[in-house]
A and B are shown apart, each in its own frame.
Chain A
Amino acid sequence: MKVYKVKVNGKVYEVELEAVEENNETIKVENTNSAPTSNTVAPSSGDKVIVAPIAGKVLDVKVSVGDKVQSGQTVMLIEAMKLENEIQSSFDGVVKQINVSKGNDVRNKDVLIVLE
């Protein structure tokens, strides 16, 4: 590993560079449990979707398919870095589909829940 000094916006940073073989994989502990994406159904027109406001990990899902949900009701908890994020519905409706479960990682703007 080599150490270089890099100047960015007038500040000098010391960086370490390491050659990585093409097939080597860096361990990414935050991406060990990704949300399923292949078997989810695209929302149809008229459906209302609740999306992830940030990338993170699902701590808890507070609703089930078929539940009635009111605007402002907490439907999910997501943790991102040091932030515990309470996801509230912006709509009234009935839960048609839940795309994630506890422990899944989600990306910013992933569709979490579909209401009808």
Chain B
Amino acid sequence: MSTVDAPRRPRGDDDPRRIRAVAHVGAAAGAAFATCFLTGLISHFLQHPTSWFAWPTHPVWLFRLTQGLHVATGFVAVPLVLVKLGLVYRRLFVRPPLHSVRLLVGHLLERVSIGVLVGACLFQLVTGVMNVAQWYPWPFFFPDVHYAVAYLAIGALAVHIAVKLPLAQRYWHAPPAPVDTSSPLVDRRTAVTAAAAAAGVVAVGIAGQSVTPLRPFAFLSPRSGRGPQRLPVNRTAVQAGIAAAALDPDYRLTIAGPDGATRAWSLAELRDLPQTTATLPIACVEGWSVGAEWTGVRLSDLLRAAGTTTSTDVRVVSLEPVGGYRTSVLPAGFVADDSTLLALRLNGDVLDLDHGYPCRLIAPNRPGVLQTKWVGRIEVLP
């Protein structure tokens, strides 16, 4: 062990092998954040539709993939960021260059930008991981804040990459020879191996919440993937306070046309209409997804029976009296899709109360939170 007592280099961070390790682990963390950001944008614009964001109805598994990736890359980013920050931690204690105002200003600017970068990235990881487990010990609305801070994190990351690109490029491949025996507490290969191994272990721990065959191994997933009728529940009937309204024998599904004319169906009448079966996943914004077989009335058939158009957006309204997700707007392309149903049955049985009895919306390739449950009213928008 000749390494402990070796003389210190004046500036340990100039150790090329450390810079190389930082570049490699940093690139992986950056890729994880970029994937997380882009997939997060998809989820955001599905929940806040804008005219320029068109999302297809097929393939039906696309949102399942993007949102599964969103949560998985966020989880995997945790060990990558930990190792990355560990490798550069000593930079926190670099003495400011007090002999030159110009250098000092640059130094302080870098400190502030790194502070924003680290603060925003850790905030995104912490709040995201807690949200997936439905833990909200804060007064703000998670989606709005997670969305806003995402721009801060990705912006600070882009600036950071712009600043560090030449350094990373210079040391990306085999570094020049001199072996610095003083600085690293761990060597480059150990750091990269640790980052890769921990990322792999975390990936196995979370991927199974979206990739069904890996489900038994998903030791970090907040859900087992089981539930009533072999499907987990994001928000139960008890949580929604919906049981009385949903079980009311006088239940009617009302369709309101763009002119305000309404027509109503009882549950028995809905069951008498032609039934369609579709295999579609519930893909939750929290990352979990499970495929299921749904049977019910095709939405476009129902709109035609109501004598109204199938070529405009519709608003689907739940029986829930309150709640941020009691309504959802279904874009015209999804309204017309043959696999978009008002489901009455799930995996062969009458829809469970927790899954939206008496009837729920199920459309392809959308966030589960927009697959409105306990539907009471459908408004055809002009």
Chains A and B form a bound pair? no
Q: Which residues of B pack against A, CB within 8 Å?
A: none
